[in-house]
Structure 1
Amino acid sequence: MRSHEDVVPEAVNWYVLLSSEHVTDAERQAWDRWMRESDVHRQAWEDIKRKLSIFEGIPSNLGVEVLSRTPSKVNRQRREAIKTLGLLAAVLLPTGYVFKDALFGRINYDHFTDVGERKNITLTDGTNLVLNTKTAVTIHSSRHTMIVQLHHGEILVSTSKSHQKTQVLMIETGHGRILPLGTAFNVRRFDQFSRVSLFEGVLKLSPQQNGEDAFMQPLQEVDIHSNRVVFRPRLSVLSPSWQRGYLELDNMPLKYFAEEMERYRYGIIKCHRDIEQLMISGSFSLDDVDASLRSLAQTFPVRIQHYTRFLIMILPLNQ
């Protein structure tokens, strides 16, 4: 008989599949047959839901209505759940439910980094790009312009002061365009906006959908939405320390720490909701996430629980 640990990856795979808005009736029926095959299957399914529900608010009745659900009734909360579980499925499962970028990044993009990888690139105009973990860019060069298209992830840009400029450098993120005027700045693309942190120089920002242009000064940070620019009250990072392999925090919520560390390690790292707002400070290694988690537990009132190699929970110390 197969063990519980043997079938947990299958349960995660089914969860990801059933959470998709493209799930078919045949796939729903196949899940139902899988559930009926063994008590071990049903226990693994319930275990995945139970463990993750206290972190992401996963609905407890997922599976009860899945056989009667139509594609038009996909719940937004489940679409968020698939984002949470997608990376785990991509890492653990050989069944093909993996993200396109993970499989074909090096074919689709000019430059691409894997989880935990950083890469330095020098453009023909002397501009230096540092790609952070899970980042993809395409370079579009013409006689008068050099456009860096950020498809996903995060880049640190340092323009050259020594090269004679014959091309106008621009960064495009899908939410807007960034025009540097002799600068060092960080750009990170999220689903709904792109975050820009300026360390030196001046930036001109142009939202994609006819929003008003804005200018940034050093030590400012903004979120570029497709139709507006929103200035943030403080820098979310003290410095572009990730290029040196460190995450530097100054009185930031523990939830932010968990989200950042998750970017640099295959799998899922989640913070219990009771301690999400615990404020932490310090410098943490991005090249050795497990060591950073141990350091966190030694310094703050939390403990680290490894449910599987790819599923880590940060829990209150007394729980």
Structure 2
Amino acid sequence: MRRRWSDRVTTNDPAAHAAAWYARLHADDARSEDAAALDRWMRDDAAHALAWRDVRDTDMALDLIRDDPAIAALRAEAVGNAAPARDWRRAAIAAALFVTVGVGTVAIVGRNGDAPTPAAPAALRYAATDAIRRVALTDGSVVTLDAGSAIDVAAMGAQRRIVLRSGRAGFAVAKDPAHPFVVAAGTASVTALGTHFTVERRGADVAVALTEGRVRVDTPAGSRTMSPGQVLSTAGGRQRLDDRGAEGAAEWQDGRLTFAATPLRDVVAQLQRYDRRRIVIADPGLAAHPYSGSLKTQGGTDALVAALEAYRIARVTRRDADRIELAPR
């Protein structure tokens, strides 16, 4: 039986294991089942998922400065100047370098102890709390952040790079074929030239909805080019592509959410982005009750509760400034 790649690392440090996984997925003999094994490893512990995210994010940050002489020297020292190494230990050393350097303003220290010099400017972070926020980027693109979402925007380079830290975001990308627009989210990355799409992080998984243009989505399970109207989602190391649903998945940008036989627990989870009050449904049957309808992101919680009471589906057992509790009728 083939051992899990990260099992070959003797330390318990999640960062070291994440570096080994990075090396495994980029090795010449990488297999399709490695992506599923990585997904299982990330689901074992939240610290694993965070460590993998840091490796991916740092990899993207270092890509912006890959031509820097100091980085080239460190890379050559780590992996050697000969043909690409096949041995996992040498590849893991290079991956560990990504983890060690970190994300943000990168400082390169010479091998002779030279003073560190900044190699790349820090990324700018934008966040939305309990309301939708629009961010205009310097290249003319516009990012729409859903409530409870955050992104990091790297300085303009050969590529326009954004890391989706949490939540979901919509992207109206200014056309610039010379500078591809790349969004990283967990283990996935989405590349576009000029288009409209949304990306949502769901823990270690991701959902991409394309409403205009074309994008390429890269995940450990493989790469796929999407067409308008399609929604791609990942779960358990696998990809799923639906030919319809993109418009509905993106309508939150206009302040509206539409549900079709959606369990109340999931409806509430969506509305919680826009309301600081916690909605509690303790009864499993009520939580699973299907709901169909359209709600505004602002004021949607009160509209939902009113509808549930009007149709005698649920009753309010507690309501205050911080909490709404619902029980079956």
> Is residue 292 of structure 1 aligned with residue 303 of structure 2?
yes
- Which of 275, 280, 293 is equivalent to 1:282? 293
Classify the secondary structure of the residue corresponding to 1:117.
coil
What TM-score results when the alignment is normalised by the length of structure 2? 0.56
Is the contact made by 2:182 and 2:189 (CA closer than 8 Å) also made in structure 1?
yes
Matches within 5 A, 1:41-60: none
* Farther-moved stretch of structure 1 (149-158 vs 278-287): 278-287
Partners of 1:294 and 1:277 lie apart in 2 by 15
What residue in structure 2 maps to residue 260 of structure 1? 270
Q: CA 1:233–1:216 in 2, change beyond 3 Å: closer, same or farther?
A: closer
Matched, 1:235 2:250: no
Task: Kindly report the root-mean-square deviation, in angstroms, between the aligned alpha carbons of the 2 structures.
Answer: 2.8
Quick one: percent identity of the two aligned structures? 20
Instruction: Name 2:139's counterpart in structure 1.
Output: 125
Q: Distance in 1 between matches of 2:313 and 2:243?
A: 28
Give how far 1:219 is off: 2.1
Change (3 A) 1:235 1:305: farther
Give the equivalent residue in structure 2 for 1:219. 229
Equivalent residue for 2:327, pick from 310, 315, 319:
315
The DSSP-based 3-state class of the residue aligned with 2:232 is: strand
Q: Which residue of 2 aligns with 1:273?
A: 284
2:198 corresponds to which residue? 186
Structure 1 pair 192/159, CA: closer, same or farther in 2 (3 Å)? Answer: same
1:45-70 residue CA offsets vs partner (Å, 9 max, x unmatched): xxxxxxxxxxxxxxxxxxxxxxxxxx
Please tell me the residue identity of whatever aligns with 1:111. Answer: Y
Q: Counterparts in 2 of 1:1-319, with a 5 A limit?
A: 110-114=125-129, 116-161=130-175, 164-207=176-219, 209=220, 211-224=221-234, 227-231=237-241, 235=245, 238-271=248-281, 272-297=283-308, 298-299=310-311, 301-306=313-318, 308-317=320-329
Aligned residues: 208
- Give, in angstroms, the shift of residue 240 of structure 1: 2.2
Q: Aligned partner of 2:316: which letter? A: I
Q: Following the alignment from structure 1 to structure 2, what is the Cα–Cα distance between the partners of residues 215 and 261?
A: 31
User: What do residues 55-103 of structure 1 show as CA deviations (whole Å, max 9, x unaligned)?
Assistant: xxxxxxxxxxxxxxxxxxxxx9xx9xxxxxxxxxxxxxxxxxxxxxxxx
For structure 1, the 5+ residue unaligned runs are 1-75, 80-106
CA contact (8 A) 2:186 2:204 kept: no
User: Which shows bigger deviation, 288-297 or 261-270?
Assistant: 288-297
Any idea what SS the aligned residue of 2:239 has? Answer: strand
Q: 1:227 to 1:257 in 2, by over 3 A?
A: closer
What amino acid sits opposite 2:200 in the alignment?
Answer: R
Amino acid of the residue matched to residue 280 of structure 1? Y
TM-score normalized with structure 1 length: 0.58
Given that 2:248 and 2:258 are in contact with CA atoms closer than 8 Å, whether structure 1 keeps it comes out as yes
The equivalent residue for 1:13 is none
Equivalent residue number for residue 37 of structure 1: none
Residues of 2 paired with 1:145 and 1:109: CA distance? 15
Q: Letter of the aligned partner of 2:132 in structure 1?
A: R
